[in-house]
Amino acid sequence: PSLLILNGPNLNLLGLRQPEVYGSVTLSDIEEVCQARASALGFDMTFFQSNHEGLLVDAIHDARGTHDGIALNAGAFTHTSIALMDAITSVELPCVEVHLSNIHAREEFRHRSYIAPVALGQICGFGAQSYLLAIDALASHLGQL
């Protein structure tokens, strides 16, 4: 089985970007720990980041038939993108929403998620650990944990 870990806008700047909010780990550090966790649970893993909404939609479409579940940190598109919501609905793959920060403890505009209603669940507030919890949640859902 295979997981897609998908990252949206500005997450390429992790480590440099607002370290007081997002910590000092980089996206490639996160990729490394995700790879280790996915392998330990018997999954192949694809890790992808884009700043472009349409490329994220394409990546979700391409996951159909190639991956068994998606962990999605859509960044700011979480709060705006009906297109990403529709893409998740369309491919009928289990999706776990991920955020490094606790979006509910931040500005009001981050409280609404278009991903949450179409996700198995949402994991936020645990920094890089949020991704590992999402992998565990997908593994459990897919019967691998």
| Binding track, positions 103-142, relative to ligand DQA; x by CB under 6 A | x------x--------------------------------
Among residues 49, 56, 69, 75, which is the contact residue for ligand DQA, using CB under 6 A? Answer: 75
Among the residue ranges 30-38, 70-78, 82-90, 114-122, the one whose residues contact ligand DQA (CB under 6 A): 70-78
Contact 131, 30 (CB under 8 A): yes
Among the residue ranges 35-43, 47-55, 61-69, 73-81, the one whose residues contact ligand DQA (CB under 6 A): 73-81
Does 13 help bind ligand DQA (rule: CB under 6 A)? no
Binding residues: 73, 79, 86, 100-101, 110
The residue whose two tokens read 């980041």 is 49
Counting other chains too, the contacts that 137-144 makes at CB distance below 8 Å and 24 or more residues apart are 137/96, 138/3, 138/68, 138/69, 138/70, 138/71, 138/94, 138/96, 139/41, 139/43, 141/69, 141/94, 142/1, 142/68, 142/69, 142/94, 144/1, 144/41, 144/42, 144/43
Q: Which residues bind ligand DQA (CB under 6 A)?
A: 10, 73, 75-76, 78, 99-101, 103, 110
Active site members: 22, 99
